[in-house]
Amino acid sequence: MIKVVLSVVALLAVGGVAMAQEYPVRQEIARTMQAGATIEERAVEHIVARNAVTQRATVLYEAGRSITLQPGFTAEAGAVFEASIANVVSRTVSNPENRVMTVSAAPNPFADQTVVDYNLPNAARVTRTLTDAQGRVMEQTNEDGVQAAGQYKVNVRGGHLPAGLYIYQIQTDNGSKSIRLIKQ
């Protein structure tokens, strides 16, 4: 007889707070959680999962607003899986004046795509723009509404771009930051 230990919890309000680490605002999970693993994944706002949790794996997902289990998500018999909505705080900042927007990219130089990682110290409207070395706009995205303060990752697909230097700019209500990208 196979005993299934599977716990799925969706709470709308929890008094607990997860702190002391830097968590992304939104996290997508597609990797398989292997037997014997104990995994905790947290996001300030949203987790989207389409992964497998294998037998004897223990997995906790915790997010501030939503956890979405998409087609492809499975939890095998004997796995322990818990999903909960809780107040997930990315990190504690002792001096708010020192909070600045940061932007990085990896890999850089890149061939087909790179991931631009940016941190918003405050909630803001965001426009992301990719220009070539001559200043021509190659791609521009205006986010709907205001993005919450926190960490964001954007896949920049450049397979169609010619080799060369590009500028990726994050513009907010409070200023802008740019990073040079080199397409090989």
In order of their start, the domains of the chain are: 17-88 (no CATH), 96-183 (2.60.40.2550)
Secondary structure of the chain as H, E, C letters: CCCCCCCCCCCCCCCCEECCCCCECEEEECCCECCCCEEEEEECCEEEECCEECCCCEEEEEECCEEEECCCCEECCCCEEEEEECEECCCCCCCHHHCCCEEEEECCCECCEEEEEEEECCCECEEEEEEECCCCEEEEEECCCCECCEEEEEEEECCCCCCEEEEEEEEECCEEEEEEEEEC
Q: What is the pTM of this model?
A: 0.49
96 preceded by a cis bond (ω within 30 of 0): no
pLDDT at residue number 8: 33
| Residue 97, burial from CB neighbour count under 10 angstroms (0-12, 13-18, 19+) | exposed
Q: 110 is written with which tokens?
A: 């890149």
pLDDT band with cut points at 50, 70 and 90 for residue 148:
confident
Average pLDDT, integer, range 101-111: 90
Q: Who has greater pLDDT, 149 or 132?
A: 132
Q: Residue 79 has what pLDDT?
A: 92
The pLDDT confidence band at residue 21, using thresholds 50, 70 and 90, is low
Q: Which two tokens stand for residue 93?
A: 């900042």
> Which position has the higher pLDDT, 128 or 146?
128
Q: Tell me the pLDDT band of 65, cut-offs 50, 70 and 90.
A: very high
- Residue 135 clears pLDDT 50, i.e. is over it: yes
